[in-house]
Chains A and B, each alone.
Chain A
Amino acid sequence: MAKRIDVAGLSAYYGPTRAIEDISMTIEPRTVTAFIGPSGCGKSTFLRTLNRMHEVIPGARVEGKVTLDDVDLYGTGVDPVAVRRSIGMVFQRPNPFPTMSIYENVAAGLRLAGVKKRSELDDVVESSLKGANLWKEVENRLKKPGSGLSGGQQQRLCIARAIAVSPDVLLMDEPCSALDPISTTAIEDLISQLKSEFTIVIVTHNMQQAARVSDRTAFFNISGTGTPGRLIEIDDTSRIFANPTEKATEDYITGRFG
């Protein structure tokens, strides 16, 4: 069930260093929102604050508010474990659990949730792998280790693993940066399909990719080394690429700055 994310006045820190400053935005359900910007501008950091993965890093903390359909993710009594269950994540490098088979990788999240019935697991594994466009390729080797797959297949396996627990939102942190063009196309197609069911947020370095897959695009920037990253603007992707409001966005997109 796709949900909406509202962010208000969010800043994130690594120890004393402020990495991103005062970010507010709304991410609509059943859309793909892309984050673009130069390296070190805090896109990934911001993404990780959305499912409370940021605080896994030592000394890291967050100020501000993130709400998922009116529930404050950083509110009192909210369990980060539960937040991450509702907001799944796919990482830059595919990271299937190496000791587990393809089947077990996909079932891992459900097993954690206490699903034991074999038939139920079978169904979800199949539907998730189908949802990740991987089913046909691995149908006959579900018991083989996930690490035996190609990089692109591994990444789709990780997507299957993330959607198997039916999250409300799917965060993707440069999911194609470690992949070849063919695998990238496969993932991009998948993203377009998944958005009918999930709210998707994707960080990408590739502006063509942002233009291809996203409905909305957010541009982040830093004014200099050591300064925190800021959200410059967020708008419909077509507008950002055709007619951005801010000069910095235009400079970045046209390659005059980078």
Chain B
Amino acid sequence: MSGIAPTATRPTPRPGGGGSAPALDSGTRRGDAVFSGAVRGAAILLLILMGAIAAFLVYRAQDALSANTANVLTYTGTWAPDDAPPKFGIGALAWGTLVTSLIAIVIAAPVAVGVALFITQYAPRRLAQVLGYIVDLLAAVPSIIYGLWGILFLVPHMQGASQIISDVLGWLPPFEAGVFGRSVFTAGVILAIMILPIIAAISREVFLQTPRDQVEAAYALGATRWEMIKLAVLPYGRSGVGSAIVLGFGRALGETVAVAMVLSTSSIFVTKLLQPGGNTIAANIALQFGSAFSTGQGALIASGLVLFVVTFLVNWLARRITKHGGEARERRGLGALFRIGGRGDNTPMEAEFDATATAALAGSVSSLSDGRPEVRGAFEAKDSVPDVVADEAAGRNRTHRATRGAGLGGGVLAAPSGLRRFRSSLAGGLTVATFALAVIPLASILWLVVSKGSHALNVDFLTHSLRNIDEKQPGGGVYHAIIGTVEQAGLATLMAVPIGLLVAVYLVEYGRGMLARTVTFFVDVMMGLPSIVAGLFILSLWILGLGQKANGFAGALALMILMLPIVIRSSEEMLKLVPDALREASYALGVPKWRTIMKIVLPTALPGIITGVMLGVARVMGETAPILLVVGYINNINVNPFDGNQGQATLPTVIYNTFTSPEHASNDRTWSAALLLILIIMLLNIVARLIAWWKKPGRA
């Protein structure tokens, strides 16, 4: 903060120039009008954009729906919208989407909550901090990596697991035998592993916010650690964790490539979880898009609309749950997704401090309350009998005196009963177990990517394209994809940051009434948008609607749609953290509002905003699904993203287009591309957090 204060005291240059009396009108007010017009304009532009997208989507979808000759809800035959007559059904797809996501959430939710409890309540202080960062980083691993690990590692290993499940639960129809790796169940497991870090990261954040006085109240009542968690931590975190789970569910519903890579699809209403077949809306779009013509694209857009509506409802539900638990916590919960550090009215530093303190609290408690049971038992035996007798002898007449003898075991310092002690240890053990359960697949992913990807990752790999490289041939690389990834993400950033920043400034500094509420609503809608639907947006508006080409720029547009809400939300959080006192100090010097925002508010919030932008860039760099729809895939170098005649490769699309190869040389390249992608994204995440940490107000 100290770096900013001098700025506030610097005299404002007067529009009139040297020496004359202060201007009481024109200049400053015109500046304000222009500035507020600009930010309002950006907000309105966002609404127009969303409106146009919705209109084009509905228009395209309607065409295909009216041409459809099959019942769109019940049809389970082949997806054939381009046949004459066109036939396609969305009901079975929607069902498959729900089933895979339900499997995912049933597996992921308890494990993730256990992991969050372990990190916040049981793990030693230092370990807890490290684990927290690791969970955050894992939440940033792109889905293509999960898909790759799923098909090349999990599927072969799932057969054994599926066999066990069908042996045990085979008498239940959904688990009937028919053991096959690429089943709906496997897809659900992949989704579970994918959403686990996200749910765990948000839950951890929520648990860390448990008020200290609640924790102390529970301990002061003589609660064991598990009882304290039940009394203070869980009730407080209930709504936050609930919305984290629903957000995770939303993420699972919209996941595209991981399911497309793992599931062996068919258009049936899935009832047998362990057998191949079934499909999801998102995966179907990715798989069918390549061969779709006009009606086919419309049909996919129609299914995308269904997915959009479902995820929208789910996200709306998540917000409703948190609203129940308080507006402030909702912001924290959503903020946690991007780990900007800003929570509610805390400065990032304070929040960090709180977090550390709470985690440490858990740590120290864990080490201190581990007594020695045998000694304590002796204690109880020695003391309790005479004490109860004494109580009785004294003939205490107050009811709760009597209770004490009966209910509290009587002994002066008798330990909690064996059962309570056992329960507490059991709960602790369970959280450790869930943590181990979560770590195994995630560690396996990282290990596999590093071990398989490292030997082909060399300078040649970084400086050559795949042009004229046969699958069997070693050599070649991803130079072309690095260019594509950097250019598309860069263009997306160039577009998303100014618009997003202006919208955020509008919402925080100007936003009142209907327009602000509408914009906030749409930002929330965009926040939960499945990435494949963002691709469909650009497809229907930019490519089909406006007749533009499928090139790198179209990809950048789709990425911008995904990045905008992240930039807006994180900037909003950061701007809100700027203390009003700073604004008032500036106003009191006669500095107009727009200059106050430009010179005081934005610079103060800048490190946090940069962190948010970098996390946004990291997120869109790993996107596969929208790029599949709007950018053609090529093997050679194309440095011009505006080239209408050829597409561009990106790292995720290289992985997606090469993972099926049976050849070693090609396989090595796929893993190396995956390793490179993870490295870039991790690096961006780490640098983003370092900036947030380094620029923390109050850091000496």
Contacts and interface: CB of A to CB of B under 8 A. Distances in A.
Chain B associates with chain A: yes
Interface of A: 1, 51, 53, 55-60, 68-69, 71, 73, 76-86, 88-89, 91, 93, 95-100, 108-110, 112-115, 120, 123-124, 126-128, 158, 161-166, 168
Given A57-B361, A166-B408, A81 B369 contact: yes
A115 B407 contact: yes
A77 B408 CA distance: 19
B369 A98 contact: no
A108 B221 contact: yes
Interface residues on B, range: 35 or more
A81 B222 contact: yes
B371 A78 contact: yes
Given A164-B400, A166-B400, A166-B404, A109 B214 contact: no
Nearest to A96: B217
Contacts of B416: 79, 81-82, 85, 112-113
Interface string B347-388: 000000000010011011100110110011011000100000
A173 B186 CA distance: 56
A95 B215 CA distance: 10
A165 B407 CA distance: 9
Interface stretch (B106-114, B232-240, B480-488): B232-240
Given A79-B371, A115-B403, A128-B400, A161 B221 contact: yes
5 contacts: A1-B390, A81-B223, A84-B223, A93-B213, A124-B403
B216 interface: yes
B364 A97 contact: no
Contacts of A162: 220-221
A58 B391 contact: no
B332 to A, nearest CB: 17
B398 A73 contact: no
B337 to A, nearest CB: 25
Nearest to A109: B221
Given A114-B407, A166-B408, A127 B413 contact: no
B369 to A, nearest CB: 6
Given A77-B375, A99-B238, A127-B400, 8 more contacts: A57-B364, A79-B371, A79-B413, A82-B414, A91-B213, A91-B217, A120-B403, A120-B406
Interface string B198-233: 000000000000010111111111111001000110
Contact of A58 (B213, B218, B361, B401): B361
Given A77-B376, A108-B231, A88 B220 contact: yes
Contacts of A113: 222, 407-409, 416
B407 A120 contact: yes
Contact of B413 (A82, A97, A165): A82
B643 to A, nearest CB: 58
Given A79-B413, A95-B213, A166-B400, A84 B232 contact: no
B407 A73 contact: no
B360 A59 contact: yes
Interface string B397-429: 011110110111101111111011000000000
A145 to B, nearest CB: 11
Contacts of B368: 55, 80
Contact of B360 (A58, A96, A163, A168): A58
> Lowest 3 CB-CB distances: which A-B pairs, in order?
A85-B222, A77-B375, A58-B360
B364 A95 contact: no
B60 interface: no
Nearest to B405: A166
A233 B647 CA distance: 84
Given A58-B357, A77-B376, A79-B416, A97 B407 contact: no
Contacts of A76: 372, 375
Contacts of A115: 403, 406-408
B217 A112 contact: no
Nearest to A88: B220
B125 interface: yes
B401 A166 contact: yes
A165 B231 CA distance: 16
B238 A58 contact: no
B236 A98 contact: yes
Given A81-B415, A86-B413, A113-B409, A99 B364 contact: no
Given A68-B412, A68-B413, A114-B407, A84 B400 contact: no
Contact of A127 (B211, B376, B398): B398
Contacts of A128: 400
Nearest to B227: A112
A99 B235 contact: yes
Nearest to B223: A112
Contacts of B238: 99
A84 B220 contact: yes
A124 B400 contact: yes
Most buried by B among A73, A80, A126: A80
Contact of A123 (B372, B399, B419): B399
Given A79-B369, A95-B214, A112-B222, A71 B364 contact: no
A86 B407 CA distance: 13
A82 B415 contact: yes
Interface in B215-268: 215-224, 227, 231-232, 235-236, 238
Contacts of B220: 51, 53, 84, 88-89, 91, 162
A59 B364 contact: yes
Contacts of B409: 113
A105 to B, nearest CB: 9
Nearest to B415: A79
Given A77-B376, A88-B221, A112-B221, A97 B361 contact: no
A113 to B, nearest CB: 5
A58 B221 contact: no
A84 B403 contact: no
A85 B408 CA distance: 9
A99 B211 CA distance: 13
A208 B92 CA distance: 76
